[in-house]
Structure 1
Amino acid sequence: MANQSDQEFLNELDKKLWNAADKLRSTLDAAQYKHTVLGLIFLKYVSDAFDLRREELKAQFADANHGYFLDPADFGGVDSEEYQAEVNAELEVRDYYLETNTFWVPPAARWEFLQNQNKVVIAGELEVDGKKIRSVGQLIDNALDSIEQDNPKLKGVLNKRYTQLQIDQAKLGELIDLIATVPFKHASLNSKDILGHVYEYMLGQFALAEGKKGGQFYTPKSIVSLIVQMLEPFKGRVYDPAMGSGGFFVQSEHFIREHQGKIGEVSIYGQEYNHTTWQLAAMNMAIRGIDFNFGKEPANTYTNDQHPDLRADFVMANPPFNMKEWDVGVSDDDPRWNINGQQCRPPSGNANFAWLLHMLFHLAPNGSLGLLLANGSMSSNTNNEGEIRRKLIENDLVECMVALPGQLFTNTQIPACIWFLTKNKGERVSAAGKKLRNRKGEVLFIDARNLGYMKDRVLRDFNQEDLEKVTSTYHNWQTGNAYENVAGFCFSAELKDLEKHDFVLTPGRYVGAAEEEDDGEPFAEKMQRLTAQLKDQFEESARLEAEIKKNLMGLGYEC
């Protein structure tokens, strides 16, 4: 958690970044300026990181106790041209940067060069590495292209479309100058943390600006954190088949780091259909130094599964709610629709259970799955949905259901819930090292609809206390450590309870109503007292009504 000084720094950074976006808002729509601003911020970050490494190397070249020491005596003294030339030559050796996982930034992509040369391009033509540069957009595209060529990890990741932008070149130059003032250096925050904050803030703001369309790639941080904290992805393969900009992977990294785990013990797999969002996700991983496999290309999860053989230890997703016409080109006997030998094809009119069964198919034997879906998935019997839900329950695959409060999302008011599934409820040790008890034949229901607070007039959010309440309830139930049913909040149900409710999984049906505090007054006496009180109030109401009529008649009105 950032301290007050750090938070003030980040808040000021937020204002500066949104001002940067405002410079383009009048000429570009939200979807375009999102990528325009984030692409430039990424370019500024890698350039700053490169400059920091250069400063480290300069210090090491001058340190006699360091292995990279360059002795000035061998070059005619520290002030000699020969010594300075040798230092400058060594500063251009790529291996020095690659050994610290710093991206190599070619001269034409360094921020100082862009900031100086964008004004030259606006005034006329510029030649860079034999290329004729005729616009600021082309200058930026050339910088991004050169970074991709020199860094294989970024191949196909950067959004090189600045030349195509229908925007005043002077305004794009102003944006470069403004982003030049964004600091990725801070006393107590490292550059990756700052850039991570930038991404989370900007994606959230762009989701608001884009409205419904924006929400298809942005999930509120608190919801992502809740799923990650409940699943605890310490080791193994983590998969998101509708990854958007990679929020689940970022929060998984935060979780592992906060709990002194090793990010190298986790493998990241994802898939995304939208090309520019796929690029955002890959860029998000690259800046954090997280190895990832997002497939060969952006692709439809149903018709072009990029990880057909993957069996992941943790599967997490927030796919589009109630998506229609998802199954064009998908076979009826696709193996993903098989639940323990029973074929259960999801309905064409709603992809909710298609997402769920796809994720279940890719789940390892001891894996865990967390999926955000619309509330209708818990009770709908439309087409084949009720039958699929029944088979999931009868095969003991459902572990926990969490009902969420409304107004959590920027893009939809559809009430949502979280499904947690596993293929093994037997006694075992989790990836987090917890000894899980035998939970076969049991399902935990958590009703979190009354949790959270209004962060503004439109959106609700969870605080850390809310997250801890839900998470600890789930983990205590899994381990058998001090778990108790709490009326109105949580209930551990058995299969017979679910059968009684026709396999509906809405938590409210099971947790009941919260118990009211006992005031010590017997029910019969309280009922008699309240009935008498109500009678008195009715009599008083009749008396006042007669008095009003009398006064109105005195004023000449008929009643």
Structure 2
Amino acid sequence: MVAKADINFQKDLFDAATNMRGSVAPADYKHYVLPLIFLRYLSNRYDMRKEEIDNLVKDPKSDWYASDEETQQIIKEDPDMYMSENVYVVPEESRWSYILKNAKQPNIKEILDNAMKRLEEENPDLEGMLPRIFQGSNLPAENVSGLIEIFSRDVFSANDERSVDVLGRVYEYFISEFASTEGQRGGEFYTPYSVVSLLVRMLEPIKGTVFDPACGSGGMFIQSEEYSPRRHELSFYGQENVTTTARLGKMNVLLHGLNADIRLGNSLLDDKFPDLKADYVIANPPFNQDGWGADRLSSDDPRLIGPVTDSSANYMWMQHFFYHLNDNGFAGFVMANGAMTTNQKGERPVREWFVDNGYIDCIVALPDKLFLSTGISVCLFFISKNRDGKGEYRERKNEILFIDARQKGSLVSRKQKALSEDEILEIANLYHNFKFNKEKVEDIAGFCKVSAVSEVKNNDYKLTPGTYVGSEEIEDDGEPFEQKMEKLRAKLLEQFIQSNNLQEKIKRNLEGLM
């Protein structure tokens, strides 16, 4: 499912971007295309504000009116006139008009790198967001010129009042399309639109603090802001471990007018927000990370409520999410299916602790093929510190809502499914009724059931919805097929080598008998 957009030329844009094929690896397309969109956006915002200021200094009714040209010029060149409206100052050689004028020059790649450099020099808080990678690339100058011409269309112009919104939507579109072409690698920075939409609809972030410690390109923040009926009543905090992905996320939130604090670092080993307590934690962390560095954690780490294991970071992520919730907070996150039933000694005790202490609110089993990065089914966990009836929520500490949505979704391509809007609303409404008791959640065989915590304990603490709703259960250890095949392949090759060595040994022994 592609990002929503009021544009009808997405395919033209993407086809033009992929003309770089042969010069740049497909996985690197985004590092050239997306910064250009961002540069165009910053330039447009600057041009729009500059025109506003030009009108203000000439308007006698304005607080900024000046009768002489010298004073007018001083006001127009004051950086605070831009920054006060969250507009970055764009120097002449970074403005789109200058870049377009020089698009056909043989040194256009150098001009672009210099434009990025000058923007960062003028605006220190953009440091690290604007890569200087064009001049050192194999991209032909004519391909770069072609990209500039694409983003010089009238619909992207500062003269078009829709341009800022359209650039944001085009950026989202490109992120989803690049993720699709990259397959498993794409899943590192992009969570499918329908999955994010379901998480957001179920959590209902309206006001307060939203935290995503595996924020990728920032999609969770964008949809959370769109969901909230009151603009700018949410504050966003995120952490991302991959430099280039963090850059995409920072550009994405700025393109959508969000004030998000995204920091670079490993969330599990170097928490950049140690004191943050959020109203909502929403995330799609990496699945089944092994060798993630469990031995580097201090035994008195305040996040720990149980053991950790280096063979999988799944339950360390859960402890991290839980730690960052305030006393009324909710967390909704994607998790590998294996987390619902794991008996690993470093994981099961934590699952038991969450169940025993009444923090598991809802589990949703999702269909397979929703994710670009893996064909396996995954699930959604919802944990809450507000299950004892505080505020508008009902008391439900001894209940857990199970939803089996494995039969939902439909194919939107040969390899990928998406949940429809109706399916998302159906699942979200069940959870809302469960939390607020607007309507009693009726058990639906094979789909949903509210089960007592005691029943979960009696079922060996299993959290698979099929165990409770009555549908056929499919065991899954949560390991992607590609990883399993690679392990099997390596093992088979090792056995071939052992077989060959054994044959040689037998052959030598036989020769010794003759």
Distance 1:357 1:161, change over 3 A: same
2:58 aligned with 1:95: no
1:394 to 321, 336, 356: 356
Distance 1:189 1:426, change over 3 A: farther
2:272 aligned with 1:315: no
**Kept after mapping to 2: 8 A contact 1:313/1:363:** yes
2:474 aligned with 1:493: no
2:241 to 270, 273, 277: 273
CA RMSD of aligned residues (A): 2.5
Q: Report which stretch shifted further, 89-98 or 314-323.
A: 89-98
2:271 aligned with 1:305: yes
Q: Which SS does the other structure have where 2:285 is aligned? A: coil
2:296 aligned with 1:330: yes
2:431 aligned with 1:474: yes
- What is the Cα deviation at residue 189 of structure 1? 7.2
Amino acid at match of 1:10: I
Equivalent position of 2:216 in the other structure:
244
2:127 to 146, 155, 169: 155
Equivalent position of 1:291 in the other structure:
259
CA distance in structure 1 between the aligned counterparts of 2:454 and 2:77, rounded to whole angstroms:
70
CA distance in structure 1 between the aligned counterparts of 2:288 and 2:247, rounded to whole angstroms:
25
**Kept after mapping to 2: 8 A contact 1:16/1:182:** no
Equivalent position of 1:451 in the other structure:
408
Distance 1:189 1:445, change over 3 A: farther
- What is the Cα deviation at residue 228 of structure 1? 1.3
1:351 to 289, 313, 331: 313
Q: Which SS does the other structure have where 1:11 is aligned? A: coil
CA distance in structure 2 between the aligned counterparts of 1:187 and 1:136, rounded to whole angstroms:
25
Distance 1:187 1:492, change over 3 A: farther
Equivalent position of 1:198 in the other structure:
170
Q: Which SS does the other structure have where 1:338 is aligned? A: coil
Amino acid at match of 1:324: D
- What is the Cα deviation at residue 512 of structure 1? 1.8
| 1:78-93 equivalent positions in 2, closer than 5 A | 91-93=76-78
CA distance in structure 1 between the aligned counterparts of 2:347 and 2:247, rounded to whole angstroms:
34
2:381 aligned with 1:381: no
Can you list the C-alpha shifts for 1:347-382, whole angstroms capped at 9, x where unaligned? 211111111111112221211111101111111213
Q: Report which stretch shifted further, 437-446 or 476-485.
A: 476-485
- What is the Cα deviation at residue 328 of structure 1? 5.5
| Amino-acid identity (%) | 37
**Kept after mapping to 2: 8 A contact 1:447/1:490:** yes
Q: Which SS does the other structure have where 2:386 is aligned? A: coil
**Kept after mapping to 2: 8 A contact 1:336/1:357:** no
Structure 1: which 5+ runs fail to align?
75-82, 123-134, 430-434, 515-559
**Kept after mapping to 1: 8 A contact 2:341/2:462:** yes
CA distance in structure 2 between the aligned counterparts of 1:505 and 1:281, rounded to whole angstroms:
33
Q: Which SS does the other structure have where 2:253 is aligned? A: helix
2:69 aligned with 1:112: no
Q: Which SS does the other structure have where 1:347 is aligned? A: coil
- What is the Cα deviation at residue 446 of structure 1? 1.0
**Kept after mapping to 2: 8 A contact 1:336/1:358:** no
1:511 to 451, 454, 469: 469
Q: Which SS does the other structure have where 1:183 is aligned? A: helix
TM-score, normalised to structure 1, is 0.79
- What is the Cα deviation at residue 465 of structure 1? 1.1
Q: Which SS does the other structure have where 1:428 is aligned? A: coil
- What is the Cα deviation at residue 38 of structure 1? 0.3
**Kept after mapping to 2: 8 A contact 1:23/1:175:** no
Amino acid at match of 1:276: T
Aligned length: 469
**Kept after mapping to 2: 8 A contact 1:318/1:371:** yes
- What is the Cα deviation at residue 502 of structure 1? 0.6
Q: Which SS does the other structure have where 2:376 is aligned? A: coil
Distance 1:266 1:28, change over 3 A: same
| 1:169-180 equivalent positions in 2, closer than 5 A | 169-180=141-152
Amino acid at match of 1:495: V
Equivalent position of 1:442 in the other structure:
399
2:12 aligned with 1:27: no
Amino acid at match of 1:350: S
Q: Report which stretch shifted further, 90-99 or 241-250.
A: 90-99
- What is the Cα deviation at residue 386 of structure 1? 2.4
CA distance in structure 2 between the aligned counterparts of 1:189 and 1:507, rounded to whole angstroms:
48
CA distance in structure 1 between the aligned counterparts of 2:178 and 2:110, rounded to whole angstroms:
25
Amino acid at match of 1:423: K
CA distance in structure 2 between the aligned counterparts of 1:182 and 1:389, rounded to whole angstroms:
55
Equivalent position of 1:11 in the other structure:
8
Can you list the C-alpha shifts for 1:109-147, whole angstroms capped at 9, x where unaligned? 001111222434x1xxxxxxxxxxxx3222112111221
Equivalent position of 1:527 in the other structure:
none
- What is the Cα deviation at residue 249 of structure 1? 0.8
Q: Report which stretch shifted further, 171-180 or 398-407.
A: 171-180
Amino acid at match of 1:466: E
**Kept after mapping to 1: 8 A contact 2:44/2:158:** no
- What is the Cα deviation at residue 179 of structure 1? 2.2
**Kept after mapping to 2: 8 A contact 1:332/1:345:** no
Q: Which SS does the other structure have where 1:468 is aligned? A: helix
2:31 aligned with 1:46: no
